[in-house]
Structure 1
Amino acid sequence: MRAVWDQPDVLASTNCYAFAANSPDGHPGTYGPQPGDRHFSYLREITVREVAEKAMTDGFIATEGCTKPKPGHYVVALAVAPNNDYHWYRQMEDGTWWHKPAPGKAVTNLDYDGNVITDPRTANRRNKRYEYTQFGGFFYAPNEGLKVGITPDREVLREYELQEVVELVQRQKQQRKASARKPVKADNDEFRRERARINKQRPRNRLHAFARRVWHRAEDMLAKIQGKPLPQRADPDAQLEALSERMAERARAADRHRRSAELKEIKELITFQEQRAAEGFRPTEADLKVKLSRQKGQRHSHSVAADVQNGYLRWTPVSRTAPADKPQPAAPTGEVKRKPTPDGGDIVVPVTEKNTPRP
């Protein structure tokens, strides 16, 4: 078993999911297969439910808590670091659990403490980057393995789709920055006004503070004599703290709303990508090259030509000479001067009051 998974090409192109599915071959690129990719059902978020559902579309079967293999099947286990990553474990014939830490790393039966894994639920699942705090359950897989991940003909498509997501995220970042300027300025102005109003309640000097204390004592004594409750006085420090918390909560609510809208937009893009790929869309390497060059902010000839073809740019002829029916205006003083150009020629510049040299 180790001989197959230690081969250089297999070692570099597979991940924990490929090892759990017993699928060492046919994985292009260096990302490793992802749950659901084989059947155009892409991951939208990293949760136990989402990863488990996508894995079951590839052929995994939930065991309903059973940890023992059944005839013709072995058992795998899922663990998730919410919103970050997932990890799979595979039970071998001797009862120990093995896993592949990452593409490029060898399979092992040791957890991150260096102990042999006898139960993935109790093993140390914290590596240098993530802690897989949520256990996702056990699943059956056939002994012959499962075909998971994209097929080689979809390698360019996957890179193209990844770049589409990156472009969307960058566009969202720009829109977020542009749209946040006015609300942030309004919130800051409101905070300054409220802070100034609250600070006006503070004593202006020591004499004012002394007079206020005397007045408050008189009010308290009068309330006691009349049998009334003591008057409640506003504390400027407490008011400022409450104001800061209110403004912070408003900003957090706006951020949650914005992130929810952005996540919805990304999910809609992934749904569109699934439908488009299932219908047979396959971009060419030239299409990917255009997208990559645009992603890096480069303006190569092929990307400019593609933009013109798609109607994003329009060629406009530019002439260095004025039209015949529109002659050059004469200099007000009747004098002209010549200005050299990079191509070896020169142009006539009328001498006006602004560019006339001082005597």
Structure 2
Amino acid sequence: MTAPIDVGALSAPAQKLAQPSAPQKLREMAARGIAPGLKPGEVVTVLVLLASREEEPAREAAEKTLAALPEPLLQGALGADLQPPVIDRLARAYADRLPVVERLCAMPGIAAETLEELARTGGEAVTELIAVNEERLLKNPRVIEKLYLNKNTRMSTADRLVDLASRNGVELTGIPAWREVSVAIKDELIAEPSPEPTPDDVLFSETQALAEALAADEPVDTHVEDEEGKEEIKEQYVPLYKRLADMTMSQRIRRAMLGSREERMLLVRDSNRLVASAAVRSPQMQEEEVVLISRNRNISDEVLRIISTTPEWLKSYTVKRNLVENPRTPVLVATRLVQHLRESDLRGIAKSKNVTSPVKDAARRHLERRKS
């Protein structure tokens, strides 16, 4: 939350108009952007005040005016020393106007929360603008995190931001797979900033478009198993798989975190453990996907270990049962989860030919304990 507007910093006429006790007619005029004697910056400040008061009768009119300020009033306000809440309101209202955002970002009073919001929601041009001020980014690492997790941020820019943080010892805990991201970037060539997207940027955005076109309404697996248990990629996902295969490790990790369910189901099987781990750590991951992954016998033990140490996923009984029954689950993990299963499932596990001997033994022991 940005600090409230400091009414005491306004001129005497503006302070009078800003008071809730000001005549209703004057407040209604101010809500339309009409405040004779006030400078443009103060007019907009009063508008923000009126729009922020829940019980203000002129609030709706003020909000409407702020959303479409007359150009002379807007430009005049941008030339003033605006307070953080006013900058924040204008940044949100005019996020699609790069010249406006550029002038707001250059203001010394802009709050970290405002930069974070622009980094989270801004289009490509806005994210490129924010990403150039390295000194400010290092002071506000959360802005780097928001930029990285914004699909509109170019891949080459995301790589530079990760490299910047890594070189300066900044840990970006807001990126779920930060360990994987920071390790991946060490061995990759970092592209210099450029006015136009790089070929890798184009590949990244085109892959996103393809993934969105293939997205299903319900979670589905991207693979099918043959009679011998070997997996093959379903035909419709082969083009997406090939595009992902052409990417660098850092690009695949970012797609794993930001991409579609289908991309996660492809990347969670990646031969590179960093990529597979990032996929299962994705903030987009849903329980239905984890159910599919946890029962898959072609998934790496590291992915299954991550699932087993994520409290959110262990709330699901199906996930716990799948982990116990999956022979790829680390033995210590599977035997620890045995105690949480129902007797009917334990009896089946104790007799199963597809479960490892230590897990079957653990199931038998727990059955005996429950009988005694």
Question: TM class, shorter-chain normalised?
Answer: under 0.3
Higher alpha-carbon Rg: 1
Calculate the TM-score normalised by the size of structure 1: 0.21
Could you say which structure has the higher helix fraction?
2
Could you say which structure has the higher strand fraction?
1
**More relative contact order in 1 or in 2 (CA 8 Å, sep 6+)?**
1
